[in-house]
Amino acid sequence: MVRKTDEELIAMFQTGDAAAFEALFNRYKAPIFVFLVRQCGNRDIAADLTQDVFTKLLNRADTFRHQSRFSTWIYTIARNTAMDHVRKAKHRNHASLDAASSDDGPALIEKVSDDGPTPERGSKAGELQKALATAIDKLPVDQREVFILREYHGMPFAEIAEVVDAKIGTVKSRMRYALEALRLELHQYEEYAKELL
Amino acid sequence: MSSTCNEFNELLLDLAYDELDAPTSNRLLQHKDQCASCQKAWGELMGVRNVARHYDPPTVPDHFDSDILALARKTAESFTSAQTNDRRAGTSVPAPVLKPPSLLEKIQAFILRPAIIGTGLAAAAVLIAVTTIKNDAHNTMMEPVNGAPFVGGKPVAEPDALPSADKSEAKANLQTKVQKSEAAAEDNTVPAAPERIQKAGPDYEPLYRQQAAEADRKSPLGQLKTARSETENSVAESKSATPRINKNPDNLLQQKSAKGSLSNATSRGPASHMDDIGVSKTAPTSVSKKKSAASYTSQEESLSAMEAPAPSRKSGAANGEMDAAPSTAAESERDDIGPSTFESGLAAYNRGDCKTAIALFSAYVDAPVGSGENVPMATHYIARCEKRTGRCGKAVIHYEQLLNQFSTYSKRADALYEAAQCHQKLGHGDRAQTLLEELSLDPDWRAKAQKMMSRE
């Protein structure tokens, strides 16, 4: 069976095929959730925001005119949703209960990266995981989003430029800065990472 | 550095992420193999990418899948019905735009609703008909001015006043007009309106409104609104009931017993605890959590309204005036402790000044009336401050108070986890176990709780 493109699926949904949306939902739920986790730094919030993104998408599904890629559209919605959340969170001034807790409670990075005990826990692989997540979270938002979209979502630079509403040169520049920052943070794991590959 | 090196540097990212055409890519890779500096740049970039590949994405939750897919089905249905309507109308208009309507659009939609138009037309027709019939009836009773009868409020020339040749024609015209008015009155009776509404009302509009309402309800803001409205209703009901209760001692006893039945309820004075909704102050977690928080708030408000009134209200309450304004100096002093105290405590906590934070949060929590919006959160902060400063013994008192009194506190899971840590440090294994067992009921915390339990 030939895999239908995103654009074909959304077109089918626009004609009333609910199953087509389900296919899109299954295709994008995880990437959007992962993108939002890294953008807002909290799994619970990211889950709520993911729900918001798909609700917005449904409410605007008919406005998709096939002039851009579906992925560009949904990531733009996701990015705007995350930015709205961050903006509101700043105003709330209650970050300390939502974000990292400096005492023994679960820290932000634990909430994000730790899904419970794994065989690798305590091993170098687990350490690498944690260091990587921390390094990504440390990146400035504009660099982080570009890095995540290119590295983990395979989005071409031109498309990222559309999503983040910036010039392609700016996007590449942010990507270079992000990679350089990560290299400095994670250089000690390079050899180990090579061994694992 | 050669021009190829410049080109290599310029296109390094495109090369690494395979965004170049094959000939350019091959050419640059060949250059890299021969150029040490380009090889180094390439190696550094690929080294980071190798590390980045080990990123393990978090598990995707699925608790909202059914909601989204249900909404998708509704939307799909609306698309289908819209297209069916378009086909019937012989148009090829694309699917309807489901963007939220502006205020003006809402007003227009309300005014131009088929039901409103239909009812309006029917009302106008009935009015005309009634006026006509009334005038007609009036004319039969009234002595005509100069012998001319009235039709439609205007005098019509009496046939007798016309030339004899036109008399019969004028009479016939008069009869026709009266008959038409009567027929119009019959045609435009009220029952005709629903038929028109049924014919004219498109399927799309109600679905659209349902979707908008549903989306509204699902949004954090919508849930906050729902929670607030529930709270307001609850308060309104309690307020409306309270004056009657105060006048009747039997009812007061009943109220007290009802208050007692609310398990784990706070013993504090009236406090709204709006913060417990968890939306305005803290991040939203899950729909069920929000709902329970909202119901808790509502319960709290009801309880607050049922509580014995504060001294300033006593006189007013006796007269059934529950909204009497505070008047004493003591009250104004108490009014000084409020949201700003909480905010100051928060600022102190954030800058690591636990001592000041505890003092401020304690003042906030202990304030007798009116400041308790964030009491659960303030209690949580006190506990955290104590824990942070190594006083686990004191911390557990506050954690236990928080867990017992505010059973639907939005950050209950965090509190359970932290309290369990304190109990473990104090050697209270059983209590820690109980708390962790409760925590393990939360799917998001299950792994952590089990991990801690296994450590014990």
Contact flag B418-A55 (C-beta cutoff 8 Å): no
CA dist list (Å): B290 to B11, B140, B274, B338, B356: 50, 70, 12, 24, 31
* pTM greater than 0.80 (yes/no): no
**Model confidence pLDDT, tens digit, residues B404-449:** 878 778 888 888 988 888 888 888 888 888 888 888 888 878 888 8
Q: How far is CA B401 from the centre of its chain?
A: 30
Identify the helix (H) or strand (E) that includes residue B150.
strand B150-151
Rounded to whole angstroms, the Cα distance separating A62 from A155 reads 24
Beta bridge partners of B154: B151
Quote the mean pLDDT of chain B: 62
Least confident of A40-44, B3-7, B207-211: B207-211
**Most confident of the ranges A79-83, A95-99, B152-156:** A79-83
Give A13's contacts in chain B (Cβ within 8 Å): 72, 75-76, 79
pLDDT band at B89 (very low <50, low <70, confident <90, very high): low
Rounded to whole angstroms, the Cα distance separating A98 from B180 reads 74
Q: Which residues contact B324 (CB under 8 A, 6 or more apart)?
A: B312, B313, B315, B316, B317
pLDDT of residue A178: 95
The answer to whether A43 and B93 have CB atoms below 8 angstroms apart is no
Residues of chain B with pLDDT > 70, as a percent, come to: 44
Asked whether the predicted pLDDT for residue A117 surpasses 60, the reply is: no
Asked whether the predicted pLDDT for residue B151 surpasses 70, the reply is: no
Two tokens, residue A11: 């077109």
Identify the helix (H) or strand (E) that includes residue B302.
helix B287-306
Mean pLDDT, range B36-51, rounded to an integer? 91
Which tops the pLDDT comparison, B296 or B354?
B354
Q: Is the four-CA dihedral B66, B67, B68, B72 of positive or negative sign?
A: positive
Contact flag B447-A117 (C-beta cutoff 8 Å): yes
pLDDT band at A41 (very low <50, low <70, confident <90, very high): confident
Least confident of A35-39, A45-49, B24-28, B145-149: B145-149
Asked whether the predicted pLDDT for residue B271 surpasses 80, the reply is: no
Two tokens, residue B337: 């402790």
- Residue located via tokens 């006043």: B161
**Model confidence pLDDT, tens digit, residues B360-398:** 888 888 776 545 668 888 888 899 888 877 788 888 888
pLDDT of residue A61: 87
pLDDT of residue B377: 86
Contact flag B19-A156 (C-beta cutoff 8 Å): yes
Considering only alpha carbons, which residue of chain B is nearest residue A81? Answer: B219
Asked whether the predicted pLDDT for residue A164 surpasses 90, the reply is: yes
pLDDT of residue B75: 85
Least confident of A61-65, A99-103, B79-83, B362-366: A99-103
Give B215's contacts in chain A (Cβ within 8 Å): 55, 58-59
Closest CA to A106 of B452, B418, B456: B418
Considering only alpha carbons, which residue of chain B is nearest residue A189? Answer: B51
pLDDT of residue A172: 95
pLDDT of residue B374: 80
Q: Which of B50, B212, B349 sits opposite A193 (nearest CB)?
A: B50
Rounded to whole angstroms, the Cα distance separating B268 from B284 reads 26
Beta bridge partners of B155: B150
Q: Which of A58, A96, A186 sits opposite B75 (nearest CB)?
A: A58
Contact flag A16-B80 (C-beta cutoff 8 Å): yes
pLDDT of residue B173: 57
Q: How far is B14 from chain A (nearest CA, A)?
A: 8
pLDDT of residue A92: 66
pLDDT of residue A1: 57
pLDDT of residue B144: 39
Rounded to whole angstroms, the Cα distance separating B419 from B428 reads 11
The answer to whether B369 and B310 have CB atoms below 8 angstroms apart is yes
